[in-house]
Amino acid sequence: MLLPDLKDSTGTVRHLVVGAARTATLSRQPDSMGKFNSSSNQQIWQQVGNAMPSGIWSTPAYFNGAVYYGEVGATLKAFSMANAKLVAAPQSQTASQFTYPGTAPGVSANGTSNGILWAHENTNRRPARLRRRQSRP
């Protein structure tokens, strides 16, 4: 997912893309995607090891400085951003867990206020349903 421009600790504006499998990865220069160099991959800005140990099967959502991930068989987690980097531990998470394949979070808002975090859930035991959580302003 492409993030809005963020400033690092030196005030430099960073253009970043975030993704995950089991490790959350921030990559820089989205306009240079596909230029991986196995001996020196300078496109990786940050990796947060084992942030989602069960794995991710969807894209995250972003709102007001937080990245939301719906891990397989686990909770929906909110990771805050600081100085153009993800904080390693989630700032919050849902009480309930989402079975396979996890959830693909989405946010609706009025600009930067009145954010609502949406998450779908689909299991063999019950029909699909949509959950919502008021997001922090």
DSSP 41: -
The answer to whether the pTM exceeds 0.85 is: no
19 CB-near residues (< 8 Å, 6+ apart): 1, 25, 27, 59, 60
- Can you read off the two tokens belonging to residue 101? 């394949």
Q: Which residues are bridge partners to 81 per DSSP?
A: 86
pLDDT, position 67: 94
Q: SS3 of 31, please? A: helix
pLDDT tens track, the chain, 137 positions: 889 999 999 999 988 888 887 666 766 656 556 665 666 656 778 888 878 888 888 889 999 999 999 988 899 999 999 999 999 899 999 988 888 888 889 999 999 999 999 998 876 666 677 776 665 54
pLDDT, position 37: 62
pLDDT, position 137: 42
